[in-house]
Structure 1
């Protein structure tokens, strides 16, 4: 409960001050939270080469101010357009003085199980700074902030490329959480298919398939992007950090394999659903067949004595009606007994 309240407080602060600036090295850390206009004049990483800078935008609503900020950093016009349109496939784009790329993040959606929460995040990596742009207010990087503030690990003594690695790692962790969430939903669906095989269950299975398909489309380009980072030959990425990005690539491969496994499980549940429905239909047909088998001879007897011929000796017999009813009762009972002994009236478990 405390953690939820803390997260709500953080999100509220992000809405009021949508830009966060972390300015740090091994000995210094300052955190500034303001609107975009403030950083048009106060973000000057080129004047502080001994410090690393992380500027994180939690909203893209103030397009005019963000455009002016990008012009201040001499960001190419095409990049500025891509920040707001986001139509390109994720790939590393190298320019003079900086590198740009965008990816799609995903977060667990606890409120419902039919929608994948996605958000596009863009990065501009310079010599001693990293600028990240999020489409809306959401906290993807709490662990990164904690590492900076608590001086955990070596993030404070590394360059912006290592900070980028930590942020990409946080995003892949979000992918893992989404897969785990879908996996827990699949366990629930498996029990529902067995106990309550309704059409609603099949729809939920299809929703999970769609979510896994979307997640795979998101992760696959990330794997290629991390591979481009590993192969990049420039001064933005330190060779000593190459193995971290290789680990990210391996994590993406593992996630894709796990997604395929979960999709196979869902395909199996779909087959199980149709098999269960077929079994129920067979049970219904068996009951209808037994009823028909019981009433066919009775219908024959009734039909014979309902032909209204003038000369039918049994029609004038005093006890003919009672004998006919008794005979039909015995015949029906005998058939039901035979069907029961053969197991045709028992429900399959």
Structure 2
């Protein structure tokens, strides 16, 4: 979409979506004092979160989660911000709704544009970051809901399905944890940085953003502990069910062992000692069958008495 520009009074917001080399060149021509390394970071599709302090501007790289419904996974999306005297530059890929929605509101409504840009570039810079950070909380609430659903169904649903859902949620929680934890030092630096562009009266505002990030970090850490405990629980349930199956199969095998022995002995094609004509007796089959049933019943009674069944 290229470069978009909003202006109110002496403050300008330059929004660049999917920056092209031409967009970066225009940015360099307009602000020649921006360091080439920072412009290189702008062109890069994925940079680690950081903050670079220059005499004329601040360059900030932050990541925010975007949920991928196809993979059931939150992926990091990068936002580059440059704040200087009288301007704010945002560079992103256009998929973070808080940022695109804020720009569209300011573009369509002069009152919204006044609220954002009328108090200076530094306040606009704070507002943009605050909107992006607040967007994290609904994502975490969705994760909370998924975890509650698993908690309610863990003892009633099919184990394989529960294991799959736990694995998906745990993967998402790990991704969110990695994204959120990396943003905390950036906001802490913004809260403490001493720069003429960032006024001292904004320290409390960035402190509020830091509190929101601390809250999000605590929530995702708690979710990680809960989902890990649920995984341990479902592993225990699966092991218990496997043990139950193995116990039944073992009992069946033990009961069949003497029956197999008896049938093998009487199935041999040699005379039995002392009973050479036993096989010719018309009642021999039923006598052996009754004897085998009695052995099975005695063994079942013994297993029940020992609480093995």
- TM-score interval, smaller chain: 0.7 to 0.9
Matches within 5 A, 1:93-132: 93-113=52-72, 115-132=73-90
Deviation at 1:292, TM superposition (A): 2.1
Q: TM-score, normalised by structure 1?
A: 0.75
Q: TM-score, normalised by structure 2?
A: 0.83
Aligned: 1:329 with 2:293: yes
- The equivalent residue for 1:242 is 203
- The equivalent residue for 1:187 is 148
Deviation at 1:160, TM superposition (A): 1.6
Structure 2: state its 5+ residue gaps.
Answer: none
Is residue 97–residue 126 contact of structure 1 (8 Å, CA) maintained in 2? Answer: yes
Say if 1:299 and 1:87 are closer, same or farther in 2 by CA, change over 3 A. closer
Superimposed CA distance per residue, residues 159-188 of structure 1 (whole angstroms, 9 cap, x where no aligned partner): 221211111112212222332222233334
Aligned with 2:41 (options 53, 73, 82): 82
SS of the residue 1:19 aligns to: strand
Alpha-carbon distance between aligned partners in 2 of 1:147 and 1:254, rounded to the nearest angstrom: 29
Say if 1:310 and 1:221 are closer, same or farther in 2 by CA, change over 3 A. closer
Is residue 66–residue 75 contact of structure 2 (8 Å, CA) maintained in 1? Answer: yes
Aligned: 1:139 with 2:106: no
Aligned with 1:254 (options 188, 211, 215): 215
SS of the residue 1:92 aligns to: strand
Deviation at 1:125, TM superposition (A): 0.5
Say if 1:330 and 1:311 are closer, same or farther in 2 by CA, change over 3 A. closer
SS of the residue 1:140 aligns to: helix
Superimposed CA distance per residue, residues 25-72 of structure 1 (whole angstroms, 9 cap, x where no aligned partner): xxxxxxxxxxxxxxxxxxxxxxxxx43221211222x22232222222
Is residue 82–residue 88 contact of structure 2 (8 Å, CA) maintained in 1? Answer: yes
- The equivalent residue for 2:238 is 277
Say if 1:140 and 1:19 are closer, same or farther in 2 by CA, change over 3 A. farther
SS of the residue 2:49 aligns to: coil
Aligned: 1:57 with 2:21: no
Aligned with 1:167 (options 110, 128, 131): 128
